[in-house]
Structure 1
């Protein structure tokens, strides 16, 4: 009965529990509250930490090329499953829901002083990987964020000319080695002096983000931030 009343009022049902919705997005408040919100994390790379306002040891020892990572969730249940279904099963409504919630997170961050970027750029896929999957989930996320946040985005600035091994199959050292010369800038890219935000689904070791941020900074970008749905904890932590 509640679900029927919600539909009559134009409120979408919750995509997680199929129950009656209670807001403009297809997720009920109960399910939204149960998502693995990130909480305390490193002020630079967003890796989960015991207390707020700290910078992790890795970022202190070797500051990354990017300025800040913004992610609303830990990579854990049920967000991990939602991302997998969006990414590997083309469940686009789930991706759109996650993008809209990320947009809300970013709007709050902007109100708290996070500078808005000039442009969003998604992490590119190689041509082979794009043919296999038929879509780039980072590109879709970037487009949805650009629309929600009234930001520009460009899907053709970054290129991935080499088809490298899957990052999730490698350890941290192998990930860095795997990404050497994996990315390039197109001739149309106008990076000089720009504040850019790189969009991806999950940040794990940060090797992809670091490789692209270093490329953009070397080309003259003033600042590079990372926007993603979820951040994994350090190995062995939950």
Structure 2
């Protein structure tokens, strides 16, 4: 007689480290659970604005908006366009609490960031997540940006400080607003923690998706006004300009 539960699926094999691709269920040879074929088919960003990562038709350019009104952040570092299947994975992670998908995306983002560091991107002093509105946090139960930040902190051996930035006013959801409405919506929405150590430090804001950049701009301006030396933005995906 056996008291062990009956389980027909594959179990984790410690010595061989066999993993199954989360996208196609085929064996994954890499350290992260995604096979080479699926990774190659992800919507990699390609040519983009050197500041805000807006998709562009040629490499090494800065978009018109960043030239006319340079943002408070120095650079957006992002591997993917917000397209299938990354958009679906982010949605399932963010709205359905499918954390393995978020962890997978964070692992690949971490590899991408390490490559950028090796190519000369300055390493930040600290990672900070975009804060979530308290009402949305109660509904969702977790801040997806904070979870991404914790995973990246461990993978990249970078400090993570979750309480530097606070959202002091709940705002309407940003998804259905245009760029001007997003800026108005975020006015006075954020504040620094009273004991935040900001002056002279290089911050990297962590978020899942960058759309108009209004949230990143508001937080970067807050940090820069408090004396931050530099603010970058690390996120999973970048949306194209509406209509493109």
What TM bracket, shorter-length normalisation? over 0.9
- Distance apart, 1:24 and its partner CA: 1.1
Match of 1:94 in 2: 101
- Distance apart, 1:110 and its partner CA: 0.5
1:56 to 63, 67, 70: 63
Give CA deviations for 1:3-59 in whole Å, capped at 9, x if unaligned.
97x968322100011111121110000000000000100000000011111100110
- Kindly tell me the number of residue pairs found equivalent between the two proteins: 235
Q: Does the Cα contact within 8 Å between 1:11 and 1:23 map onto a contact in 2?
A: no
TM-score of the superposition, structure 2-length normalised? 0.94
Unaligned segments of structure 1, at least 5 residues: none
What pairs with 1:138-153 in structure 2 (closer than 5 Å)? 138-153=145-160
Match of 1:218 in 2: 225
Q: Which protein shows a greater Rg?
A: 2
For residues 147 and 175 of structure 1, what CA distance do their matches in structure 2 show? 32
For residues 27 and 107 of structure 2, what CA distance do their matches in structure 1 show? 19
- Distance apart, 1:161 and its partner CA: 1.1
TM-score of the superposition, structure 1-length normalised? 0.96
1:35 to 16, 36, 42: 42
Match of 1:190 in 2: 197
Instruction: Give the SS at the match of 1:167.
Output: coil
Match of 2:91 in 1: 84
Match of 2:118 in 1: 111
Higher helix share: 1
Unaligned segments of structure 2, at least 5 residues: 1-8
For residues 101 and 85 of structure 1, what CA distance do their matches in structure 2 show? 17
Instruction: Give the SS at the match of 2:45.
Output: coil
CA RMSD of superposed structures (Å): 1.5
